[in-house]
Amino acid sequence: MDQENVHFFTVELRNGHVMSTPRYEPAQEFVGSLVREVSSKKPEFAWVQFVFRNLDYHPQLMSLKAGLSYYKRFADTPETKTDSEGREYAVERKEKGTEWYRTVQEKVKKIDAIKSQPTLSMAIRGMWVGDLDALVGLGAFSNCSDEIDRLAVVPLHDPRMLGWLVKRRMLADPTEYIWHYGTMARKASPELMLTTEDLPYYIHLPAGKKTVASLKSALQFGASSTARKEEVKDEGVPIFREDKEPEEVAGPSVDPKVASIAELPELDEPLKEDEAAELRHASSNVIRSFEVVYDRRGEKPAKLLLSSRTAPDLARFEEQLNSVYTRMDYVAEDLIPAYVKELAGAVTGHATDSR
């Protein structure tokens, strides 16, 4: 393992326009495109997380709309100046010539489109062991866009990132970025503000004969011989977990519960629009994640994971996917992928040897 090739990253709005809700078109092709592209670039290891939860942005959006509207009225009001003879005259404000002014109406229109829908927060981030240029050039992300912004992969040199990945944590409170939008040199939020209408563009399974056929050599499904499938029930819903301890209460110190999809449903065609719309309900007040893990050493190197802060909520997440697709089995997974454990061991061993 070449430790110099280990990179952490987030996926952020390129220009920091916080009201942007980028999508990958056509619908239901993002996950397949991401897996296919990662497989073609062949990093040693890749771990991409979509961590999300319900979050009400409407108060901040209304405040932001008011601020943008005030800015436009100010810019539209001519500035009064006085000439050398004391006579007043009006001139157009310099703000009217800025890109910010030209896009105010577009941004307000975007806010109006969002405000009538439930909102959620999503952090996209991960770990990449391979060529940095290949990571930054991932087209699956740069092709996610709307009329005012698009996504970009941003390398992040912060050792805390590994802990955030393992704990499936949100990175920050994105409301701060909304309050300060336009005053922080377009600093991007580490989380996206999306609507439930946008969620099916990110959280879905590969579908269609052509897509599934092209991923068969990459996607790993089915339990390994060492997987433990102890079944517990919550409200009649099955979930796998590895112990018999009482159900833990969600909190900052509680480890998330993680499962992989054991069998991919063979969908000859993408879901119909009304069927795919059911994926809007995949978000919860509890933090959840949808993940792609790629380990080049495997015969089928990629697999899809789900997680939640609690076992009952993970069961509900599984059932929501089952209600949209077909009944799938799920396999309990460790918090930390095997590759990361081995990498940590190699780093620890190197540090010991150096002493």
List, for residues 67-99, the tens digit of each pLDDT value. Answer: 999 999 999 999 999 988 889 999 999 989 888
What pLDDT does residue 239 have?
35
**Within a domain: 256:** yes
Q: Are residues 21 and 137 in the same domain?
A: yes
For 258, phi and psi rounded to 5 degrees? -125, 140
pLDDT at position 332, please?
Answer: 94
Output the 3-class SS for 110-160.
HHHHHCCCCEEEEEEEEEEECCHHHHHCCHHHHCCECCCCEEEEEECCCCC
Cβ neighbours for 37, distance < 8 A, ≥ 6 positions apart: 138, 139, 140
What would the pLDDT profile of 192-220 be if each residue is shown by its tens digit? Answer: 999 999 999 999 998 877 777 778 788 88
Instruction: Identify whether 293 is part of a domain.
Output: yes
The reply to whether 96 and 215 lie within a common domain is no
Residue 20 covered by a domain: yes
Q: Taking the model in full, what pTM does it have?
A: 0.85
Could you tell me the residue range of the domain that residue 84 belongs to?
A: 60-112
Does 353 map to a domain?
no
Which residues fall within 8 angstroms of residue 237, CB to CB, at 6 or more apart? 312, 315, 316, 318, 319
Query: What is the CB neighbour count within 10 angstroms for residue 352?
Result: 8
Q: What is the pLDDT of residue 113?
A: 94
Here the tokens at position 153 are 């992969």
CA distances from residue 164 to 2, 5, 68, 168, 203 in whole angstroms, order as listed:
22, 20, 34, 6, 20
Q: What does the pLDDT read at residue 187?
A: 65
Do both 65 and 159 map to the same domain?
A: no
206 and 281 together in one domain: yes
Q: How far is CA 283 from the centre of its chain?
A: 12
Per the domain annotation, does 355 fall within a domain? no
Q: Rounded to whole angstroms, how far apart are CA atoms 91 and 81?
A: 7
244 shares a domain with 327: yes
Distance, CA of 153 to CA of 156 (rounded, Å): 9
Does residue 12 lie in a domain region? yes
- Residue whose pair of structure tokens reads 């009649």 in the numeric block: 236
Question: How far, in Å, CA of 70 to CA of 39, rounded?
Answer: 48
Give domain status of residue 222, yes or no.
yes
**Confidence at residue 277, expressed as pLDDT on a 0 to 100 scale:** 94
Which residue, of 112, 130, 156, is where some domain finishes? Answer: 112
123 and 103 share a domain? no
Residue 44 CA to residue 314 CA, distance in Å, equals 29
Element (H, E) at 324: helix 311-324
Is residue 134 domain-shared with residue 170, that is, in the same domain? yes
**Same domain (yes/no): 181, 85:** no
Asked if residue 164 and residue 66 are part of one domain, the reply reads no
Tell whether 82 and 189 lie within a shared domain: no
3-class DSSP state of 16: coil
Q: What pLDDT does residue 283 have? A: 95
354, part of any domain: no
* Pair 15, 37 in one domain: yes
- Spell out where the chain has E strands: 6-13, 45-54, 79-82, 88-91, 119-129, 151-155, 192-195, 231-234, 237-240, 257-261, 288-295, 302-308, 330-332
One domain for residues 33 and 101: no
The tally of domains found in the chain comes to 2
At 248, give phi and psi (nearest 5°): -80, 150
Residues of the chain with pLDDT under 50: 222-252, 351-352, 354-355
